[in-house]
């Protein structure tokens, strides 16, 4: 994408983010990585609904401004994603209300409830809280960036990325739409998860169709762990958040945590016998 097109599309997407209430005030940021490695990014402290093409910042691949326009301090998050994912050319960060509600409630969007979301987006993990504009945020995100195309940031918002700025926006929109449906389904009594064999078929289909590659099998969500599909790189990040399905809270424990819990239970029972 050339610089003029990138500027035009960033302004268009900024308006959409604002009109759809994915951002308010000067929230959020959008960037595009150009073919020569330079980055066109939204400026600091400006409403995304009221930007003009000449208000955008341009930086080198390390985030150093190349003009007098200063990019958002959250550009570090974009730089991390560009470093970890050579295929990614655009990043979109916002605070969409339903997705952000999951992030505030400490929940990942990781239940297999919608076939098309498994096909096109996969699960969205919750990364732990970090002070905005510090490396706490980027370090929390780092393990997940390779295998996911969208992330929730605890007590903050969401970020999505893709091969171009529209794909990044579409993924953010799918994240928000999924979160909204999940919340509505909870109000109606709870969602029905897709069974394991249906999930496996969808994952095979998405790889055959080129929606998501094999690296997305390494996602953090529990429903992928329960399939018989093997993660090719083996560096699947740990499951995040509380998995809530059919109204029951399921808590994921590591083997060590389970052993510790059982040991404590045995000790408690033994002390009870003595007394
Ligand atoms: Zn933010």
Q: What is the pLDDT along the chain (275 residues), one digit of tens a residue?
A: 899 999 999 999 999 999 999 999 999 999 999 999 999 999 999 999 999 999 999 999 999 999 999 999 899 999 999 999 999 999 999 999 999 999 999 999 999 999 999 999 999 999 999 998 889 999 999 999 999 999 999 999 999 999 999 999 999 999 999 999 999 999 999 999 999 999 999 999 999 999 888 888 888 887 787 777 777 776 777 766 543 333 344 455 666 667 667 766 666 555 544 43
Q: Ligand 1 centre from 28 Cα, in Å?
A: 5
Distance 157 CA to ligand 1 centre (A): 6
Total length of the chain: 275
Distance from the CA of 117 to the center of ligand 1, in angstroms?
A: 24
7 phi-psi bin (left φ>0, alpha ψ -120 to 50, beta other): alpha
Cα 70 to Cα 47, 73, 253: the distances in Å are: 14, 9, 44
Centre of ligand 1 from the C-alpha of residue 20, in Å: 16
- CA dist 59 and 40 (Å) reads 7
CA 133 to ligand 1 centroid distance, Å: 9
The per-residue pLDDT for 222 is 77
Q: Say what the pLDDT of residue 240 is.
A: 67
What is the CA(23)–ligand 1 centre distance, in A?
9
Distance between Cα 203 and ligand 1 center (Å): 31
What per-residue confidence (pLDDT) applies to 229?
A: 78
Please give the model's pTM, rounded to 2 decimal places: 0.84
- Give the other-Cβ count within 10 Å of 185's Cβ: 15
Which pLDDT value is given to residue 41? 98
Q: How far is the CA of 258 from the centre of ligand 1 (A)?
A: 36
* 25: Cα within 13 Å, side-chain hemisphere: 3
Number of Cβ atoms within 10 Å of the Cβ of 11: 20
What pLDDT is attached to residue 120?
93
User: Using one digit for the tens of pLDDT, what is the confidence trace for 161-185?
Assistant: 999 999 999 999 999 999 999 999 9
pLDDT at 17: 98
**What spacing in Å lies between the alpha carbon of 173 and ligand 1's midpoint?**
16
**In 65-164, which residue ranges form alpha helices assigned H by DSSP?**
75-84, 97-105, 115-120, 135-145
């Amino acid at each position: 994408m050339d610089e003029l097109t990138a500027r035009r599309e960033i302004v268009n997407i900024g308006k959409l983010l604002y009109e759809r209430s994915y951002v308010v005030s000067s929230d959020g940021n959008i960037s595009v990585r150009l073919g020569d490695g330079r980055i066109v990014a939204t400026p600091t402290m400006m409403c995304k609904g009221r930007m003009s093409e000449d208000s955008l910042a341009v930086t080198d691949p390390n985030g150093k401004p190349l003009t007098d326009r200063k990019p958002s301090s959250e550009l570090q998050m974009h730089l991390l994603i560009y470093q970890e994912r050579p295929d990614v050319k655009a990043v979109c960060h916002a605070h969409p209300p339903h997705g952000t509600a999951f992030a505030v409630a400490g929940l990942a969007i990781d239940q297999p409830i919608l076939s098309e979301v498994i096909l096109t987006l996969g699960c969205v993990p919750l990364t732990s809280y970090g002070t905005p504009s510090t490396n706490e945020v980027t370090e929390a995100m780092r393990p997940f960036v390779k295998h996911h195309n969208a992330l929730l940031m605890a007590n903050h918002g969401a970020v999505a990325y893709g091969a171009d700025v529209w794909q990044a926006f579409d993924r953010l929109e799918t994240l928000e739409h999924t979160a909204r449906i999940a919340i509505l389904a909870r109000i109606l009594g709870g969602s029905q998860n897709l069974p394991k064999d249906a999930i496996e078929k969808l994952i095979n289909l998405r790889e055959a169709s080129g929606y998501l590659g094999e690296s997305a099998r390494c996602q953090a969500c529990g429903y992928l762990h329960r399939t018989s599909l093997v993660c090719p790189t083996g560096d699947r990040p740990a499951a995040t958040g509380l998995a809530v399905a059919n109204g029951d809270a399921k808590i994921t424990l590591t083997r060590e945590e389970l052993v510790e819990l059982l040991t404590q239970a045995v000790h408690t029972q033994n002390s009870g016998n003595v007394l």
